[in-house]
């Protein structure tokens, strides 16, 4: 039986973290599915980049597609995986697996990414966008009360736990608790503001020094309404996972770092 894993979108952000973890593990061959072959990046991450799924006897497809104007690219990938004789499992980046008749499917529920608060200096392929808490500049713009828990997971920890795919939460704490933790680790007092629900519903948030767009096609001003939407999601508990049975509890060999551990690691390296 084939053991090949294909990662769609594996040359960017989360996809690249997953590819690197599979390569480091050394137990499964991995290919990257890309719309256009990129020889420079192929050499850089050490994985083959192939545009067509059906030609490669892939057993598992992990999708990390993003920034899509519609669901169609994901649905096309699901359809291709469903038709490929050797492909048996699909991990979607969006809810779309119901369109498949034959595939097993798994989904990750990691919450929000902890990378935004410790990278740099910790290694991450995510673009830096400090939402809510700017650890580098000792500032925070907290949505609502700041008392609703948020699940936070570091991408490299998530990638290392890819073989057991379900709820995989590194830590869960409120934004107020994250600020208190960062203050304790750094030994400084943060400048904290609170954005009301009305402010968030108007598409505005407290602007932090690191509220700069990492993408050329998104302006700094366009980030404001996006951050406001996330702020409402945070305050309404969308990221407060009520997990009765996390995969990390069943598999203690999966090391998921807490925010305290991550902040302490980052502070030692100069956050």
**pTM of whole model > 0.75?**
no
Residue 49 phi, psi (nearest 5): -110, 115
Instruction: Say if CB 80 and CB 54 are below 8 A apart.
Output: yes
Better-predicted residue by pLDDT, 5 or 81: 5
Q: Which of 172, 153, 133 is nearest to 262 (CA)?
A: 153
Task: Write out pLDDT tens, residues 90-134.
Answer: 877 753 334 455 666 566 667 788 998 998 888 887 877 789 999
pLDDT digit string (tens) for 89-100?
887 775 333 445
Band (pLDDT 50/70/90 cuts) for residue 189 is very high
- Give the residue among 63, 83, 82 at the shortest CA–CA distance from 73: 63
Which long-range CB contacts under 8 A does 81-88 form with residues at least 24 apart? Answer: 81/53, 83/54, 84/53, 84/54, 84/58, 86/1, 86/2, 86/4, 86/57, 86/58, 86/59, 87/53, 87/58, 87/59, 87/60, 87/61, 88/59, 88/60
What local confidence, expressed as pLDDT, does residue 91 receive?
78
Indicate if the pLDDT at residue 222 is higher than 50: yes
Mean pLDDT of 224-253: 78
User: How is the chain split into domains, by residue range?
Assistant: 4-105, 112-156+169-268
Q: What band does 139 get if pLDDT is binned at 50, 70 and 90?
A: very high
> In percent, how much of the chain has pLDDT > 70?
72
**β-bridge partners, 158:** none
50-89 pLDDT, tens per residue?
A: 446 667 788 888 888 765 555 677 777 777 778 777 888 8
Q: What is the pLDDT of residue 95?
A: 37
Confidence band for 167, pLDDT divided at 50, 70 and 90: very low
Distance (Å, whole) CA 169 – CA 236: 19
Q: What CATH number does the domain located at 4-105 have?
A: 3.40.50.720
Range scoring the smallest mean pLDDT among 23-27, 46-50, 129-133, 187-191: 46-50
Rounded to the nearest integer, the mean pLDDT of the chain is 78
pLDDT, position 256: 75
Most confident stretch, 71-80, 160-169, 196-205: 196-205
In this predicted structure, the answer to whether residue 47 has a pLDDT above a threshold of 60 is no
Element (H, E) at 192: strand 191-195
The DSSP letter of residue 170 is: S
Q: How many residues does the chain have?
A: 271
CA 115 to CA 214: how far, in whole Å?
Answer: 14
Higher pLDDT, 1 or 228: 228
The architecture (CATH level 2) of 112-156+169-268 comes to: Alpha-Beta Complex (3.90)
């Amino acid at each position: 039986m084939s053991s090949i894993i294909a990662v769609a979108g594996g040359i960017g952000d989360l996809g690249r973290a997953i590819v690197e973890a599979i390569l480091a593990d050394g137990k499964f061959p991995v290919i990257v599915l890309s719309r256009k072959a990129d020889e420079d990046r192929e050499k850089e991450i050490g994985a083959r980049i192939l545009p067509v799924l059906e030609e490669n006897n892939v057993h598992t497809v992990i999708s990390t597609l993003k920034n899509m104007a519609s669901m169609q690219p994901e649905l096309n990938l699901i359809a291709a995986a469903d038709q490929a004789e050797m492909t048996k499992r699909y991990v979607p980046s969006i809810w779309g697996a119901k369109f498949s008749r034959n595939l097993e499917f798994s989904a990750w529920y990691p919450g929000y990414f902890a990378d935004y608060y410790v990278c740099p200096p910790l290694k991450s392929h995510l673009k830096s966008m400090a939402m809510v808490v700017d650890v580098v500049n000792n500032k925070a713009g907290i949505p609502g009360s700041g008392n609703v828990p948020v699940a936070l997971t570091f991408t490299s920890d998530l990638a290392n736990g890819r073989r057991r795919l379900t709820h995989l939460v590194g830590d869960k704490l409120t934004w107020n608790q994250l600020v208190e933790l960062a203050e304790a680790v750094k030994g400084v007092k943060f400048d904290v503001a609170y954005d009301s629900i009305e402010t968030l519903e108007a598409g505005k948030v407290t602007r932090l020094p690191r509220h700069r767009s990492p993408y050329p096609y998104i302006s700094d001003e366009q980030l404001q309404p996006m951050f406001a939407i996330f702020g409402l999601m945070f305050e309404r508990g969308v990221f407060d996972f009520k997990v009765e049975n996390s995969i990390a509890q069943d598999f203690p060999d999966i090391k998921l770092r807490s925010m305290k551990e991550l902040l302490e690691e980052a502070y030692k390296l100069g956050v």
